[in-house]
Amino acid sequence: MKRLFTSILFTCMAMSMVAQGTWGSNSADSTKCFENFNDFGALYNSKSYLDAYDHWKVVYEICPAASVVIYKYAPKLFAYKIKDTQDSAMRAGLVSDLMSVYDNQMTLYPGTEAKLTA
């Protein structure tokens, strides 16, 4: 009985550690991240790239390690956002942000650079 309790406790602790690292640092962040991840994915799939960008940004800021999809879809989201932006300073900021996204992807998912397409 004691061994069963210990193994269940260990499993629960391990699962919570993995969840915290991937989907946020607490349950509120995890919920917010998961909701925005689903919203951005649905909007991206419906080709509403400008609307998807805002949800993507929340996911990227709260839980950048949630999925490689965050980085796979980033170039297209940024391309539409840059094309929609009239201010040249904001465009330069978006390009800089995209380069930071690439750098972060290489840190979190090394070896995936060949899978990126714009």
pLDDT at 103: 92
Query: Which residue has tokens 């946020």?
Result: 24
Q: At CB < 8 A and 24+ separation, what contacts does 94-100 make?
A: 98/74
pLDDT at 110: 87
pLDDT at 117: 55
Q: How many domains does the chain have?
A: 1
Which range marks the domain in which residue 54 is found? 2-115
If you average pLDDT over residues 33-51, what whole number do you get?
95
Global pTM value: 0.76
Q: What tens digit of pLDDT does each residue of 51-102 get?
A: 999 999 999 999 999 999 999 999 999 999 999 999 999 999 999 999 999 9
Query: Which residue has tokens 């879809």?
Result: 73
User: For residue 107, is pLDDT > 70?
Assistant: yes
